[in-house]
Amino acid sequence: MSYENFIGEVKTVSRIQAIQGQLGWDQQVMMPPNGANARADTLAWLSGRAHETLTSKKMGDLISELEKNISKLDEDQKTNVIEMRRTFDKSTKLPAEFIEKVTKTRSKGMGVWAEARKNNDFNSFSPLLGELVSLAREKISYLDKGNTPYDTLLDDYEVGLTVEYLDPLFAELKEGLIEILNKIMNAKKQQISKLDMTFPVKNQEAFCLKISEQMGFDFNSGRMDTSSHPFSIGISVGDTRITTRYDENEPFSCLYAVMHETGHGLYEQGLPNEFALTPRGTAISLGVHESQSRLWENQIGRTEEFWKYSLPLFQNEFPDFPKDIDAAQMNLIANQVEPSFIRVEADEVTYNLHIILRYEIEKQLFNGTLDVNDLPKVWNEMFKEWFGLDVEDDSTGVLQDIHWSMGAFGYFPTYTLGNLYAAQLFESMKNEFENVNKMIEEGNWSPLLNWLREHIHEKGRLYNPSDLIENATGKKPSSAPFLKYLNEKYGRIYGF
């Protein structure tokens, strides 16, 4: 009975977290602004209750009892015990009042950030950001994990991730990206059409919904809404939410946000229902999660084959769209490479430079002496050095991302890990199927989803991220497949 009792406690924590997730979704999508303080209080209270259950003597005793006879458990049961031990040990070092304070501050932070971003006013956000940084430093003092303070924060999002691992990986990647970028900048300029018309929101929404459905997203078990920053969340079995945002002058922003978030949503919908509300039934890491979104957005969505299938659907929603813009031109538009300000709208070549820049800044915040008030200055100087662009305002600079308002320090590197994993997974898919490009062109995408279901989604937390990718591809994760993919793809497009 001890395992059943253990799972009962685990599911209690998960149910509270599901409520938190739904309230968090509502906060970003539907809640009126004046509800922010009350919502922050409710979320803080819920986090306290979840923390109490997670760190209770009962939970600790149940884990210890099961560990004594762990050889008698099957692999799925072992996974739940091992994962809960890791979570329990980390959580018991964090006082309940600290968890509640973090939750309340994060909840307030998102509202303050949204206003600051809208008003281009970093100074109105910096005091609360300073609180979040202080809380992150306090968390580091409780956990004290890793060779550097920042390692503790990285471990929250990708277990075992360290600066020692990332520094050489990112250095190699940055060198390869700059080499490819220079080739593109020196290549013969392409004649790229301008999307010089208005794309009404309702038509963008209709088109994006069709693409999301074609990818395999089940709208009987999910929905799509609008938020200031696109995101996805798996609240519970049968309830996965994605969001996007719209620009009537630029429909690609919405499309690729939807493909990205649908990729996340497919992962959530593909997790094994029989292990719902337990670690075995949840995603293993943010890096793996990001691999699912980037694979669909880039390896599938930013291709001429994708547009050969999708352009008729697009033209149906926008009948005034120029008929002389064919799939090849749409592919050129989707794959323009040019240094730009906004991370979420960056091309595949420069995107990871955005991530590495944030990584370097966060290292300075937690391993160095960078002060919160100096963030805009440091950001703008680094951006000018790396991208050759002068940041004109904080809304397109240091304020553009929601992550710091959520206290999500250490999150950004998982985006780059996701890109590396995605390229490696797609390389294996191309080896598995006779002609992936033809499958994409014909809209025959379900075998691709099924491959991901089998090799990634259904595994839940059965393996750690590195082993999961190695099992799926036969190789340890590396940057080589990603750099090879970029060289081949953009070599074709830009002729180098």
The structure tokens listed for 368 are 């160095």
Residue 97 pLDDT > 70:
yes
pLDDT digits (tens, 9 = 90+) for 113-164: 999 999 999 999 999 999 999 999 999 999 976 789 999 999 999 988 999 9
Contact 25, 233 (CB under 8 A): yes
Report pTM. 0.93
More confident residue, 147 or 394: 394
Tell me, what DSSP letter sits at residue 462? S
**Options 261, 290, 297, 317, the catalytic residue:** 261
Domain boundary assignment for the chain:
2-144, 164-494
Across the range 3-15, mean pLDDT stands at 98
- Beta carbons within 8 Å of 122's beta carbon, 6+ residues apart: 116, 375, 376, 394, 398, 399
Q: The domain at 164-494 falls in which architecture?
A: Orthogonal Bundle (1.10)
261 as an active site residue: the answer is yes
Residue 190 pLDDT > 90:
no
pLDDT digits (tens, 9 = 90+) for 317-349: 999 999 999 999 999 999 999 999 999 889 999
Across the range 20-48, mean pLDDT stands at 94
Across the range 29-40, mean pLDDT stands at 94
Contact 448, 300 (CB under 8 A): yes
370 phi-psi bin (left φ>0, alpha ψ -120 to 50, beta other): beta
The DSSP annotation for 110-171 comes to: HHHHHHHHHHT-HHHHHHHHHHHHHHHHHHHHHH--SSSHHHHHHHHHSTT--HHHHHHHHH
Across the range 183-199, mean pLDDT stands at 91
pLDDT digits (tens, 9 = 90+) for 266-278: 999 999 999 999 9
Residue 83 pLDDT > 80:
yes
The DSSP annotation for 30-65 comes to: T--GGGHHHHHHHHHHHHHHHHHHHTSHHHHHHHHH
Residue 413 pLDDT > 90:
yes
pLDDT of residue 57: 97
